[in-house]
Structure formats: C-alpha cells, structure tokens
Structure 1
Amino acid sequence: MNVLAEAIGEICKAVLPIPEEYFKGNPNSSIAICTLSSMDLLKKFSNSEILNDISIVGRLLSENKGIDSVIEYVHNNQKINTIVVCGKEVCGHKAGHSLFQLHKNGIDKNSRIINSSSPDPYLTVSEFKIKYFQNNVNLVNLINEIDYERILSKINFS
C-alpha cells in the first residue's frame, strides 16, 4: 500500500504541483500559525503586519511528511510554544486532526499516530522530538476556521 501511495503522490506532484509555502516572521516569537490547506488564508497572513508578531505561518498538507516537518521545525526553534491550527483540512488526509491526535496520544510501536483517522499517519521523527512537541507546545484548535479576523482574535500575543 505504501508503494502505491508514494506512486500516486509522485503523479500528483507532476500533474497538480502544490507549492510548499511558508513565510517566516519574527524569530523571537513563540507563536506559529498553520493554515492547513487554505492558501488564501496563508496569503492573508503572509501579506500582513502579523508577521512581526509570529515566528512562521505555513500550510500542513499531509499526515506524515508534513507533520514530521512541523515536529522538526518546533524542535529546532524551541521558542515556539503555541501553534494555531486553522483553515480547511486537506480532503482525505486530515492532517490537522492527526496533529492533534499526535499531541494527545503520541505514536505506537510502528510509529503510527495513535487514534488518527488519516490514511497514512506514519512518522519518521524520533520519539524524543515527539515528546518534546507534546510537552512544550500548546495547540489551538481552529480547524475549519477561515475568517482571518476571527482567527486573529483567538491568538494571545502577550
């Protein structure tokens, strides 16, 4: 199944390329924003003054490599203690759901995110980095919220 998923992924990259975009802001900020698949929302954040108050804003498109990247980034940028997860889920992947399940439950002995309903929630990052993420990062659940102003009103910048 993994070989088939990888092959389909490569075909999708060629036929429907999706840029893996993120925008860095203030390296001293403790806040990161994840817009899941919402490109318009990402653009609103990236084109606003909010970049002065957040560390990074980016998308999360997959329940495996995408979450691996989030965990690595947080581990390498340990000032981040809050991730606001907003925007629309990627249809079928539920990467946001899997991120919350990882935070709550961790991984099993096969590196699968416990209680994830995603099709391929297997991670390659170390359990040490996952434990760091679980113990040091607060997730704010605004999944499916795409109203920029409403999202801003839920962020505690203090």
Structure 2
Amino acid sequence: MNEQGMLKVKPPEEYPPEKGRYARGNDYSPIAVCVILDTFDFQIPNELEELVMVALDAGSALAGMLQTENIGIEKMVCNLVANPNIRYLAVCGEESPGHLVGDAVVALVKKGVNEKKRIIGAKAPTPYLYNLPLEVIGRFRQQITVLDLVDCMDRKIVSEAVKCCYQENPTDFSYKDEKYLLYDPGAFGEPLLHKIIWTVKEPWLAQGERKQPTLAMKDLMEVQRNKKRKGIIKYLGGVMQAHKGELKDIFALSDWELNFHLGMLKKGHFVDISEDVVMITEEGEYLAEILKGEKG
C-alpha cells in the first residue's frame, strides 16, 4: 500500500525480464510509454529520443522504442505484465509504414489474437505472437488500457498523458477523436513473469499454414554480386512497391537506396544475406503473397 492506501506491488528482481531499447523509470508508476521506431538503430532521430526522455521525466515506469509487430511486441508484453503497477500503455510517435506497430499494439489490446496467435484486425504484415502463451496475452489485455497517441510527436501531449494516469481522481484526457478518463487504479494482482526462450520467426510454419520452405527467390535464385541488384529489384518491385507507395521507380534506385531497403528487408526477416548471396525467406514469400493479393 502507498500513503493513500492504494495497492502497489514491488516488481520481482527479474523485472523487466526482456532486454530492449527502453529505459526504466518509476517502478510504481501506472503507465509505460512506447515510442514507434520507423528507422534504423543508428539513425534514430533526436525527436524520438526526446519523447522517451519526456515520458521518463513525467514519471513513466518504462519508456522505450518499438520497431516490429511480432517479437518486439512480445518482449514488450512480457515486461509490462511483470509489473502489475503498470495499467496504461501510451503508444506515440509517427506510425511505421512497414511494420505498422502502432496499429498492431492498439489492435492487440482491443481485439486480442485468433487461434493462430495473429493479432485480430492488425494491418501489419506479420503480427504473430507465437512465443507468448494465451495466458500472458490475456493478462496483458486485462491489465493494460492503451492510449492511442499514434502519430503524436508532441512532447507536451505525451507528458500530459503520463501525468493524468497518476491522478487519484478520474481526469479527462483526449487526443484526436479518442477520449479517456484516466486515474491510477492500483496494481493488477501479482506479477506474471514470462521470458521468451524459443523464438519462432516464422509462426505460420509452426501453425502448419504453409509447407516447409525451399529457400527461394523462385528456383533458389542465388544471386551473385553482378545479379544481386536485378534480383533484389525484382523483389522490391513485387513487394516493397506494393507496400510503400513512395517507391515509384524501382530501377532508378541508387546503390545506397537499394542497400537501405535491403537492410530493412533483412531486419524484418524477409531476406537472408550471406556474403554476396541474397535469398528470400519463407516469411518474405508469405509477405509477397499477401501484398500480391491486396494489390490484385
């Protein structure tokens, strides 16, 4: 109990159980802040780092960045349910056009997952949480209220959201069309510790949705240095152009731009790169099929 008689729980020594790109603040705070990361680790804009610092200064329990709609969300969920004092999750920062993690987090809290552990209603390419037991997902959804601040880069709004969650009496807070009545309801029972041990990077295979992959860019299109550009351009043309409308002329990409997008594909496990050989993974093939269907 705190001085006002509100139930608060000391987090376990193992908290937070998962490593990540976040900072730890006040363990007894009722809110964590998730800043969407839509760029490379080495190119993080100062504005995003400032959002994290503002959240910590305002009193959040955890504040950090989220980049992917699967393993990234899984790690975040594990860290939040390990601290039952956290009752709110504010999701802010400009939406990532590739992973759409903001939309995925909001959909997870509001709609949950289906029998294949795919986040219901999420627009992201691969929003699977196969490494989380349903018990952990259920607990997260019961414990956490999501504050949808997606696309918000205003530090004052993020700070206000954090401070409103601290209030003993219900306090009005709104962003765009969303209206909230915020206050600190106290801890949600006891901590639930879950650490990801076995990481499934291609959950649809574990669920039996597709046959075992043959490493492919069609017929195992291993591309040597002189063919690499052609092969990746072909893939980018079929996938990234459909998914990112700004890539109007794939063949006009410079080597730097091509390597940039190739790096993003690798980070999302859509391609594997070994020296000068580039191969599309089964996850990449799956994404291509999804986008082909959406485009058609």
TM bin (shorter chain): 0.7 to 0.9
Partner amino acid, structure 1, of 2:120: I
Which 4+ stretches in 1 moved above 6 angstroms? none
Partner amino acid, structure 1, of 2:123: S
In structure 2, what is the Cα distance between the partners aligned to 1:133 and 1:109?
Answer: 17
Q: Which runs of 5+ in 1 are unaligned?
A: 1-19
Q: Does 1:21 align with 2:21?
A: yes
Matches within 5 A, 1:118-129: 118-123=124-129, 124-129=131-136
Larger helix proportion of the pair = 1
C-alpha deviation, 1:138, in angstroms: 0.8
CA contact (8 A) 1:64 1:121 kept: yes
Matches within 5 A, 1:6-155: 20-37=20-37, 39=44, 40-48=46-54, 50-51=56-57, 53-123=59-129, 124-155=131-162
C-alpha deviation, 1:133, in angstroms: 1.1
CA contact (8 A) 2:35 2:92 kept: yes
Partner amino acid, structure 2, of 1:122: Y
In structure 2, what is the Cα distance between the partners aligned to 1:152 and 1:104?
Answer: 23
CA contact (8 A) 2:73 2:105 kept: yes
**In the alignment, which residue of structure 1 is the partner of 2:255?**
none
Two-structure CA RMSD over aligned residues (Å): 1.9
Find the residue that maps to 2:60 and give its secondary structure: coil
Kindly name which structure, 1 or 2, has the bigger radius of gyration based on alpha carbons: 2
CA contact (8 A) 1:24 1:51 kept: no
C-alpha deviation, 1:32, in angstroms: 0.5
C-alpha deviation, 1:100, in angstroms: 1.0
Which stretch shifts more, 35-44 or 124-133?
35-44
In structure 2, what is the Cα distance between the partners aligned to 1:53 and 1:32?
Answer: 9
In structure 1, what is the Cα distance between the partners aligned to 2:55 and 2:116?
Answer: 42
**In the alignment, which residue of structure 1 is the partner of 2:187?**
none
C-alpha deviation, 1:45, in angstroms: 4.3
- Judged with a 3 Å threshold, the aligned counterparts in structure 2 of structure 1 residues 133 and 96 are, in CA distance, closer, same or farther, namely same
In structure 1, what is the Cα distance between the partners aligned to 2:114 and 2:125?
Answer: 15
TM-score for the superposition, normalised by structure 1: 0.80
Find the residue that maps to 1:97 and give its secondary structure: helix
In structure 2, what is the Cα distance between the partners aligned to 1:82 and 1:52?
Answer: 14
In structure 1, what is the Cα distance between the partners aligned to 2:56 and 2:154?
Answer: 15
In structure 1, what is the Cα distance between the partners aligned to 2:22 and 2:55?
Answer: 15
Partner amino acid, structure 2, of 1:31: I
CA contact (8 A) 2:90 2:148 kept: yes
Q: Which runs of 5+ in 2 are unaligned?
A: 1-19, 39-43, 168-296
In structure 1, what is the Cα distance between the partners aligned to 2:127 and 2:77?
Answer: 14
Partner amino acid, structure 2, of 1:93: H
- Judged with a 3 Å threshold, the aligned counterparts in structure 2 of structure 1 residues 92 and 49 are, in CA distance, closer, same or farther, namely closer
Q: Which has the higher contact order (CA 8 A, sep 6+)?
A: 1
- Judged with a 3 Å threshold, the aligned counterparts in structure 2 of structure 1 residues 46 and 119 are, in CA distance, closer, same or farther, namely closer
Instruction: Give identity over the alignment, percent.
Output: 27
